[in-house]
Amino acid sequence: MPGQDRLKRDIIDRGLCSSCGMCVGLCPYIKTAGDMVRVINPCGLAEGACYSVCPKVSLDLREMDLAVFGREREDQALGVVREIYFARAGENRAAKAQYGGVASALAAFALKEGMVTGMALAGGGVLCPRPVLARTVDEVNGCAGSKYTAVPSLAVLNRALREGMSGLGLVGRPCQIAAARKAQAGNLAGDQFSNPQAVGMALGLFCFWSLSPDFYRFAFRRVKGEEMVRMDIPLEGPVVETNSGNCRWQLEEIRPFIKKPCSLCFDSTSEWADLSVGSTEFDPSWNTLIVRSDKGRELVDLALRRGAIEIAQYPEERLPLLRRAALNKKMRVLGLPEFEDGKPGFPVVGRYREQIEAQWGGVNQ
Ligand SMILES: Cc1cc2nc3c(=O)[nH]c(=O)nc-3n(C[C@H](O)[C@H](O)[C@H](O)COP(=O)(O)OP(=O)(O)OC[C@H]3O[C@@H](n4cnc5c(N)ncnc54)[C@H](O)[C@@H]3O)c2cc1C
C-alpha cells in the first residue's frame, strides 16, 4: 500500500477527504485544523497505514462485509441487517440528545459495563465541534447532539491506542466506521498495519452528508449573531435553534455547503457498524436502530435488560422508505459521470449495480 504522499495527492489535495480523522492519530505529520485534515510535513515513507486505513481508497464492499460480518449482505440497500427497531434512551437520556438519545445511551452503557475503555466521540458545540475521547458517562452525555460538520473525531482513537489503551469504541459517521474497520482488519489494511484491538464497539450514525463550516458562517449571518444551540435536518428543511427562536432554510439553500466527499459516498447507514442509529423521520423522540452484528445484539440485549434503552416494533410501512433513501444515494453515486469502480474517492463496487437492480429494480421503484 502507498503512503502519505499518495494520500495527499489522491485524496486530500483533490478535496476527497471526508475528515474521518483516522490517519491523524497514526502519523505525527498529519494534523487537523477544524474539519480539515492536512499533511504538515512529508514523512518520507513509501508505505503507510495512513493510506491503507483511508475510507476513500480501496474500500471493497464485498470484502468489508466478509471481514466484518463473515458473510455477504442479503439487503443491497441497507447492508447486513439482523433486526431493525424504533428505540429510545431509558430514563437517563442525555439532556442534549439529538432524538431518542440511543447513540449516547448505548455509548454510555458500553462504557459503564466495561465493554469498552473509552469512546471516540464528537464533542464541543454546534459551531465548534471537536474530537473527544470520553471515559465517563458524563463525558459521553456532554458529546450528545449532532454536529453537521465533518468532525475528525477518530483522531483520538489511534492516539489512545498508541498510548497503550485497547478495546476502544466509537460513535461515527459511515466513513468513520469504514475507516475503523479497515484499521481493525488486516486483510483490508495490509497485515503490517492491522490492529484487532482498534475497535471494541462501533456505533454508526445514519448520515447522508455533512456540511462545510462555511454553512455556519452563512447561518451566523441569518441568525444575526445569536448563539446556535442545536441544529436538525428534518424533511421540511434544515433548522437552527437559537435562544430566541428557530431559523429555517430550504434544503436547496444549503446544498452548496455539502462536502464533496459526501456527495460521492455510497453508505448512508453505517453499513459496517455493530449497531446503526438514525432518525425515524417520523417521531423525533425515537431513533431507528439497526442491529448488525453479534456484538451489537449483545449490547442491545443487556441495555434492554438494564433499562438503558427501550425498543418498539419498526413500522413495516416505513422500511421501503428507508431502503429507497439509501438506494437512491447509492444509485446517484453510481450514476455520476466521474464514477469509476475503485478510483480514489469511490468504493470498489464490483457486481453491486447488477445486484441492486436484481433485488430492487434500480431506483425510484
Ligand atoms: C453529519 C451528520 C449527518 C446526519 N444525517 C442524518 C440523516 O440524513 N438521516 C438520519 O436519519 N440521521 C442522520 N444523522 C444522525 C442523527 O443526526 C443522529 O446523530 C442519530 O439519529 C443519533 O441520534 P441520537 O438521539 O441517538 O443522538 P445522541 O444521543 O445525541 O448522540 C449523537 C452522537 O453523535 C456523535 N456525533 C455528533 N456529531 C458528529 C459528527 N459530526 N461526526 C461524528 N459523530 C458525531 C456524538 O458524539 C454523539 O455520540 C446525521 C448525523 C451527522 C453527524
CB distance 197 to 166 below 8 Å:
yes
- Cα-to-chain-centroid distance, residue 237: 21
| Atom from ligand 1 closest to the CA of residue 93 | 29
- The β-bridge partners of 311 are 87
DSSP annotation of 237 reads -
| Atom from ligand 1 closest to the CA of residue 107 | 49
Nearest CA to ligand 1 atom 35: 122
Distance 337 CA to ligand 1 centre (A): 30
Spell out, as residue ranges, where the chain has pLDDT lower than 50: 191-192, 364-365
pLDDT of residue 217: 87
| Atom from ligand 1 closest to the CA of residue 232 | 17
| Gap between the Cα atoms of 179 and 11, Å rounded | 14
Distance 122 CA to ligand 1 centre (A): 9
Distance 134 CA to ligand 1 centre (A): 16
pLDDT of residue 216: 86
- The β-bridge partners of 211 are 149, 258
* Of 265, 223, 283, the residue nearest 102 (C-alpha): 283
Nearest CA to ligand 1 atom 48: 144
| Atom from ligand 1 closest to the CA of residue 209 | 3
Query: Pocket residues for ligand 1 (CB within 6 Å)?
Result: 94, 97-104, 107, 121-122, 143-148, 151, 153, 171-173, 205-208, 210, 277-279, 287
Nearest CA to ligand 1 atom 19: 146
Nearest CA to ligand 1 atom 16: 278
| Atom from ligand 1 closest to the CA of residue 287 | 21
Three cell numbers written together for 89: 434512551
pLDDT of residue 138: 98
CA dihedral 123→126→128→129, nearest 10 degrees, is 30
Give the Cα-Cα-Cα angle 61, 65, 67 (nearest 5 degrees): 115
Nearest CA to ligand 1 atom 21: 278
Nearest CA to ligand 1 atom 5: 207
pLDDT of residue 284: 95
Cα atoms in the Cβ-side hemisphere of radius 13 Å centred on 294: 4
pLDDT of residue 365: 44
Radius of gyration of the chain (CA): 19
Instruction: Mark out the alpha helices in the chain (DSSP H runs).
Output: 4-6, 49-52, 61-69, 102-112, 137-142, 155-162, 174-184, 186-189, 214-222, 251-254, 260-263, 294-305, 319-334, 352-360
Three cell numbers written together for 205: 450514525
Distance 207 CA to ligand 1 centre (A): 7
Nearest CA to ligand 1 atom 50: 207
Name the residue of 205, 263, 269 to mutate for ligand 1: max ligand atoms within 8 A of Cβ. 205
| Atom from ligand 1 closest to the CA of residue 279 | 11
pLDDT of residue 362: 57
Distance 222 CA to ligand 1 centre (A): 24
Distance 228 CA to ligand 1 centre (A): 17
